[in-house]
Each structure stands twice: as C-alpha cells, then as structure tokens.
Amino acid sequence: MTLIAKGFEAIGIACVMIGLVQGIQSESMWMELYLTIIGIVLFLFGWGIEKKTARKHRTE
C-alpha cells in the first residue's frame, strides 16, 4: 500500500511541475491551474494513504 501511496505522490508532484512549465510557456493559465489542482489532490490522496498505512502498522 505504501508503494501505491508513493506513486500517487510522485504523479502529483509531476503534475504540478508540468503545470508550472506549461504556465511559463503558454499564455493560457487554465491548463496550469487544472494541472496544479489535480497534482495537489493526487499528492494529498497519496499522503493520506501513507499516513493511514503508517498508523495501522504502528498499532500492530
């Protein structure tokens, strides 16, 4: 489960970085905004899974 969480975090960071580059290179900020929001949501989802898994393993 930790590997899946780390994958979501990595994809989230990649989306934010792609959004940053997209925003620098183009005039439209909408795609940058969409990629940033998607990246943040994916990262937080992965982070939540990782915390939940760590908490579960700590109590066992």
The reply to whether 59 falls in a domain is no
Using CA atoms, how far apart are residues 37 and 16, in angstroms rounded to an integer?
Answer: 8
What per-residue confidence (pLDDT) applies to 5?
93
Residue 44, pLDDT score: 97
Predicted TM-score of the model (pTM): 0.84
Yes or no: say if 53 and 5 are a contact pair by the CB < 8 Å rule.
Answer: yes
**Total of domains in the chain:** 1
Question: Domain span at residue 34?
Answer: 2-53
What pLDDT tens digit does each residue of the chain (60 aa) get? 889 999 999 999 999 999 999 989 988 889 899 999 999 999 999 999 999 988 888 776
Tokens of 35: 């990629």
- Six-digit token pair at 52? 């939940």
The reply to whether 7 falls in a domain is yes
Q: What is the DSSP string of the chain?
A: -HHHHHHHHHHHHHHHHHHHHHHHHSS--HHHHHHHHHHHHHHHHHHHHHHHHHHHHHH-
Q: Residue 60: its pLDDT value, please?
A: 61
